[in-house]
Amino acid sequence: MQRIFNNILKFSICYFSIVMIDLVFMTFSELEILRLVTKPALMLLLIFFYTLNDNESTSNNFVFTILALSFFLLANVMTYFKTEPIVLVAGSIFFILGKVCYVCRFSNNRDFNILQFLPFLAFYLLYMFSILNLTLDNLGSSLIPVLLFLFVTLLLVQFAFLRKEEVSKSSYILVMIGVFSFLLADTLSILGSFYKYWFYERFITMFVYASAQYMIIMGLVKEKIEPQTKIEIES
């Protein structure tokens, strides 16, 4: 089993096989209860993979990453019970806490030029305006939670961007792909819920979300090592 977690190719095949199985379970309502196994399994795979392969970050960074994945694991379980309002709220809180832990994981003590934040400010305003323009009439009491949800995701993108001078190029690129995939998944979910539902939204959102988590963890284990890691690239 450990050979799978020490080999990127084998781990990737295992991870995305479970993603595909989860999407199949999503297709058939009589099988959807089995997602209580597949969705947590994805987070557990990432936790094991990160634990076995991360030896470059500080202890605090390690803890923040494990906490993030643990919160996402709990959120994944709770989203199955989306018909229960209290459970759904708890799941949303766990999603936000997971992202906050990722923000803490990406932060560092480096001083940043204020000019670096200006493009993000413009992007924030344009993005929020676009989302609200499409969904505001249907948000109702969900307005504040949705804004908070998106704000934390945008904060995640910003802190991932600010890692550029601190980590290897491969780590930076993988994490940026991951956080933008996160933003895409959140956007699809919100538009599907408050703007216009379309049949494939759940499937695409789940695949993008799972890919986002995969990219972020892959980027983090490559954070300080550029050409070689202890992980085998090929079998």
Tokens in use for 226? Answer: 């550029």
pLDDT at 96: 93
Whether 233 is covered by a domain: the verdict is no
Whether 127 is covered by a domain: the verdict is yes
Q: What is the tally of structural domains in the chain? A: 1
Whether 196 is covered by a domain: the verdict is yes
Tokens in use for 153? Answer: 């995701």
pTM: 0.86
Tokens in use for 79? Answer: 């989203």
Domain enclosing residue 120, as ranges? 2-221
Give the chain as a DSSP string: -HHHHTBHHHHHHHHHHHHHHHHHHHH-GGGGGGHHHHHHHHHHHHHHHHHHH--SS-HHHHHHHHHHHHHHHHHHHHGGGTTSHHHHHHHHHHHHHHHHHHHHHH--S----GGGTHHHHHHHHHHHHHHHHHHHHHHGGGHHHHHHHHHHHHHHHHHHHTTTTTS-HHHHHHHHHHHHHHHHHHHHHHHHHHT---TTHHHHHHHHHHHHHHHHHHHHHTSS-SS--SSBS--
Per-residue pLDDT of the chain (235 residues; tens, 9 = 90+): 667 777 889 999 999 999 999 999 998 888 889 999 999 999 999 999 999 888 766 688 899 999 999 999 999 888 877 667 788 788 889 999 999 999 999 887 655 555 666 777 788 888 888 888 888 888 888 888 888 888 899 889 988 988 887 888 999 999 999 999 999 999 998 898 888 877 788 899 999 999 999 999 999 998 864 444 444 444 4
Tokens in use for 109? Answer: 């003590």
Residue 128 main-chain phi, psi, to 5 deg: -60, -40
Whether 125 is covered by a domain: the verdict is yes
Whether 229 is covered by a domain: the verdict is no
Whether 8 is covered by a domain: the verdict is yes
CA-based max dimension of the chain? 54
Whether 90 is covered by a domain: the verdict is yes
pLDDT at 27: 87
Q: Determine contact, residues 36/77, Cβ cutoff 8 Å.
A: yes
Whether 226 is covered by a domain: the verdict is no
CA distance 218 to 195: 33
Which CA distances in Å does 184 have to 12, 52, 215?
A: 21, 29, 14
